[in-house]
Amino acid sequence: MSHAPRITGFSGTGYLRAQRDALGSPGHGTLTYAFEITNSASYQFAFSSRIGAGTQSSEHNDTWVRIVDADGNALAPIPNENVKNGAYWYKVYMNNRHGWIHDASNKDNDPHSLSWNLAAGAQYAIQISSRSKDHLVDRLFLGDRNRYALANKTSGKSANNTMFRNLENSLLAGEAIPGDLDCSGAIDAEDIDLLVNAIINGSAPGSYDLDDSGTVDADDLDFLITDILNTAVGDANLDQKVDLLDLSSLAANFHTSAGWAQGNFTLDPAVDLLDLSALASNFGFTSTIPEPASIAILNLGILATRR
């Protein structure tokens, strides 16, 4: 594979372009990217790639991929009806001609993801090699399947593309922001609403356990509001004050089904007297802690690899 920055929209200083077809023989032009896992988990692979030639979405669209351990032994992925080509090389493809796509499917005509069980503290490497000439690769990703609720098959491809794109935007030196539950790069009312819904429904990825108690509950909501956002219940606009602006938001949405930004501060679906009482109890609050320009970073065991 070669470096050839001739197409815009890539994330770094260049991208990789496959220089030859190797449809039945993986291992040509192999590139190896070593990494260490910080949290034991099941990690799903994806890459940011695009079709670099032609007009077909099923041509120039795939690359050989595998993971090896510190001794160079190829690892078998988690069983998912995947199709390999010797020594655990897997054809990984995407079918979209519209720019850089964060996706990675295996098994023709029945797309399945590729995931591996990886252990904390162990050394691994992702290896990629040319399969289809003019397939372009920008970035490689491994995401904790449980933490980001990644999907296995076709129905999840769009969701996975969005998740990996947002994850890319929220990463700093391979680490993610605690409390940024939707991986948007910011901690905001949408993250609060996600956490509230997870508490109500009784199911959530591990990343929602913000206080590391082992349970996702109201204590995590309190931790997000007070410890991460440095504010108080009633601060609808998250400006670290509880004032008339917040009361106005609540009043405008009273007796409606709404989220935090609209004045819903309790674990129920509607803005009501309980929310008004919560706001009233903190009315006049002003945080003495400056709004963080950057939140303290916590390593979540997510890998983002550049060349």
Strand partners, 147: none
pLDDT score, position 162: 66
Q: What are phi and psi of 124, to 5 degrees?
A: -135, 175
How far apart CA 65 and CA 57 sit, in angstroms, is 20
Question: Residue 136 is encoded by which pair of tokens?
Answer: 């372009």
Query: Nearest Cα to 50, choosing from 13, 81, 94?
Result: 94
List pLDDT tens digits, range 49-88. 999 988 898 899 999 999 999 889 999 999 888 888 888 9
Indicate if the pLDDT at residue 178 is higher than 80: no
Query: Nearest Cα to 259, choosing from 183, 151, 182, 207?
Result: 182
pLDDT score, position 109: 85
Ordered by start, the domain boundaries in the chain are 2-170, 189-281
How far apart CA 176 and CA 186 sit, in angstroms, is 11
Query: Nearest Cα to 132, choosing from 2, 21, 16, 19?
Result: 21
How far apart CA 49 and CA 46 sit, in angstroms, is 9
Q: What is the pTM of this model?
A: 0.56
How far apart CA 196 and CA 246 sit, in angstroms, is 19
Per CATH, the homologous superfamily of domain 2-170 is Galactose-binding domain-like (2.60.120.260)
List pLDDT tens digits, range 107-163. 888 888 899 999 988 999 999 999 999 999 988 888 888 776 677 765 566 556 666
Question: Residue 183 is encoded by which pair of tokens?
Answer: 């991986």
List pLDDT tens digits, range 208-259. 888 878 788 999 999 999 988 989 999 999 999 999 999 999 999 999 999 9
| Residue 151 backbone class (left: φ over 0; alpha: ψ -120 to 50; beta: rest) | beta
